[in-house]
Amino acid sequence: MSPLTSMCRICGNPKPTNEFALNECSNCAEHGRVAGAAFAAANPEASQDQILYAERMAKQARAHMSRKNYVDPRTFSASTGMIPQPPQPGGRQ
């Protein structure tokens, strides 16, 4: 049994209260089902494993990754400088 969570494990968006017991939100689940059905329609000889893999890859494309919003300290310090600049004479007071 999965614990009650208010956020989707795939996309990271909040889930409605009636979906707290589900692993993913209804949007992600539907996205996977649609991708699996489309793969099965395009490949009539596909096994169940291949269909489930297509669903999993469609969900992976929606995945929330914290690195997307992460500020890389190397690029931050390279562009802004690690040492604060002292006030310049004649500058704004």
Give pTM, 2 decimals.
Answer: 0.64
What single-letter amino acid sits at 8? Answer: C
Contacts of 8 (CB under 8 A, 6+ apart): 14, 15, 24, 25, 27, 28, 64
DSSP letter at 83 equals S
Residue 89: what pLDDT?
A: 73
Q: 7 - beta bridge partners?
A: 14
Residue 3: what pLDDT?
A: 78
Q: What is the pLDDT of residues 9-66, one digit of tens each?
A: 888 889 999 999 998 999 999 999 999 999 999 999 999 999 999 999 999 888 876 5
Which has the higher per-residue pLDDT, 67 or 7? 7
